[in-house]
Structures are given as structure tokens and as C-alpha cells.
């Protein structure tokens, strides 16, 4: 039995153990997967001990994705671009390797599962932490017409603009200097949904046919999803689909088998 876990703070709400058990049953793989809450100053030591004790792989969630990048010895291409890691494993030589599956999970859910193409869309990305980095690393590969970053701390948004501006037209703002205009796709990459709060956006940012996507999820949806529905978004999605799709990509990295995601997403939606 191979041991895997998701590590974060908070992590009690995580559905990852359930999802990976479904994947294990589906693919007939011997997997034991749990959720572990770690104090911020204990992340590095936890990762080392986990793998020293024979652990096979870790998923990393809020607030440790950038710390995981710094800790990783060998980065996959998406992690290198994002400078953020959500999937850890050891290679055959025992080197700690990291990849980021968040962006590909997000894009697959938006485009493949919900038939909303990103190409030539005006994108607003809210937040500039590890989740935003992972999202942006894949979004820029799908040729949006523009990407606007808005974040409470302007310097963090500006840093992302500098890093990703070569891949797509990117602009950065703080909430204080952000002048609302219409967007076709709005992605909330903040963790505000975990506390029931909302990013300070006006409803006039929603273009006709707009898709609003909260990378967080919770029972009954999130406050951002509810706000989007109340203000006329054509699509208002929480992060359950992304969660399943990024988990499937992690599972594939670890086990060499790509599980089927549609039935798992449907099951989780029935339960939420």
C-alpha cells in the first residue's frame, strides 16, 4: 500500500482523500491517502519526514504551494513557470520533484467540462499567490486576448505581470487603482471563500456571457459563486471540477494511470 497525503492549513475541508480513493478503486491501485494539517513553520520538516518514512507523494494546498516550490530539487515545466508546486514525489534517484497541476485542472474544467473556450477571452484573475501562479501558468497557453491581475498587494500582482507578460498581454492592479471594465472570464484565485468573504468587485465587471470561476469550493458553493449568480453570470462554477481534474493529473504522475473524471465530478456535485 503506497501512502499519499494532501498537506495544508486549513485542510479539514479537503475532498482529496475521497477523490483519490475513488481513483484508486477505479484503476485498481493500492493507495492510502489522507489529509494532514501542518503549522506554517513546520512544512519543510514535515515533507522531509514524510518521504523519509516511505511516503510516495504529496499534494500541497493553501498556504504552502510557493514554499513547496522552494523546497523542490527538480521542477516540472508547469511548476517552473508558475514557481508554485502542488504535487511532490521522489524520482528513482531519491530527488524531490515538484509539478503544478492546478492550471491544467482549471483549464480542463472550464474548457472541456463546461465548454467555455479561453482563446480570445478577456480574463480577470483575482489574487496573486500560489493558486494564481498555478492558474496563470496554464491560462496564458490558451491565447486569451488579455489578462488583468488584481490583488490586495500591488507588488505581488506586478511581479506576476513581469514573469508572465512574455506569454500573454498582462496588466496588474491593486484593488485601490483597479478601474472596472467588462471581462469574459473571471477567476477567483484567492482563499477568501474559505472564510465566507468576497473580493471587492463591482457587478459591472461581468460581460454578457461571462464565466465566473472560484478555485475554492464548499458545501452549497462559495460566496463568490453566489455573487456571480446573483449578478447574472452565464456560468458560475466552484472549484470542484478543477479539484478533480488536478487530482487526476497528480494521480497520473504518481501512478502512471489517468483516471476518468466525469463520474467523480458528478458524484461530488451530488454531495455538495
Q: Using one digit for the tens of pLDDT, what is the confidence trace for 123-182?
A: 999 999 888 999 999 999 999 999 999 999 999 999 999 999 999 999 999 999 998 899
Mean pLDDT of all residues in 76-98:
95
The reply to whether omega before 63 is within 30° of 0 (cis) is: yes
How many C-beta atoms surround the C-beta of residue 210 within 10 A? 23
User: In the prediction, which pLDDT does 13 show?
Assistant: 83
Question: How does residue 226 score in pLDDT terms, banded at 50, 70 and 90?
Answer: very high
Which of the following is catalytic: 65, 121, 156, 161?
65
Residue 218 has pLDDT above 90, yes or no: no
The model's confidence at residue 209, banded by pLDDT at 50, 70 and 90, is: very high
Q: What whole-number distance in Å separates Cα of residue 58 and Cα of residue 61?
A: 10
Q: What's the pLDDT band for 106 if we cut at 50, 70, 90?
A: very high
Compute φ and ψ for 32, nearest 5 degrees. Answer: -120, 120
Q: Is-catalytic flag, 65?
A: yes
- Assess whether pLDDT exceeds 90 at residue 62: no
Q: Is the pLDDT of residue 254 over 80?
A: yes
Higher-confidence residue: 191 or 79?
79
Residues 154, 174: contact at Cβ < 8 Å?
A: yes
179: left (phi over 0), alpha (psi -120 to 50) or beta: beta
Total-model pTM:
0.93
* Closest listed residue to residue 78, CA positions, set 59, 100, 60: 100
> Tell me, what's the pLDDT at 180?
83
Amino acid at each position: 500500500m503506497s501512502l499519499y497525503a494532501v498537506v495544508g492549513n486549513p485542510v479539514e475541508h479537503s475532498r482529496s482523500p475521497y477523490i483519490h480513493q475513488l481513483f484508486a478503486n477505479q484503476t485498481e491501485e493500492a493507495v492510502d491517502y489522507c489529509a494532514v494539517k501542518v503549522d506554517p513553520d513546520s512544512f519543510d520538516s514535515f515533507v522531509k519526514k514524510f518521504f523519509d518514512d516511505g511516503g510516495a507523494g504529496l499534494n500541497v494546498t493553501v498556504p504552502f504551494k510557493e514554499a513547496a516550490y522552494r523546497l523542490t530539487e527538480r521542477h516540472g515545466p508547469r511548476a517552473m513557470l508558475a514557481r508554485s508546486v502542488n504535487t511532490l514525489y521522489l524520482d528513482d534517484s531519491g530527488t524531490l520533484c515538484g509539478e503544478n497541476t492546478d492550471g491544467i485542472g482549471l483549464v480542463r474544467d472550464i474548457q472541456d467540462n463546461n465548454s467555455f473556450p479561453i482563446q480570445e477571452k478577456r480574463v480577470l484573475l483575482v489574487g496573486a499567490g500560489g493558486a494564481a501562479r498555478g492558474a496563470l501558468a496554464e491560462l496564458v497557453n490558451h491565447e486569451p486576448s488579455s489578462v488583468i491581475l488584481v490583488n490586495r498587494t500591488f507588488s505581488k500582482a506586478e511581479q506576476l505581470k513581469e514573469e508572465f507578460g512574455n506569454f500573454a498581454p498582462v496588466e496588474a492592479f491593486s484593488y485601490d487603482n483597479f478601474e472596472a471594465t467588462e471581462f469574459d472570464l473571471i477567476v477567483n484565485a484567492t482563499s477568501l471563500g474559505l472564510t465566507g468573504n468576497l473580493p471587492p468587485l463591482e457587478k459591472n465587471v461581468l460581460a454578457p456571457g461571462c464565466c465566473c470561476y472560484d478555485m475554492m469550493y464548499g458545501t452549497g458553493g462559495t460566496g463568490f459563486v453566489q455573487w456571480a449568480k446573483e449578478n447574472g453570470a452565464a456560468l458560475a462554477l466552484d472549484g470542484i471540477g478543477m479539484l478533480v481534474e488536478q487530482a487526476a493529473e497528480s494521480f497520473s504522475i504518481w501512478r502512471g494511470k489517468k483516471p476518468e473524471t466525469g463520474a467523480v465530478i458528478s458524484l461530488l456535485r451530488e454531495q455538495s
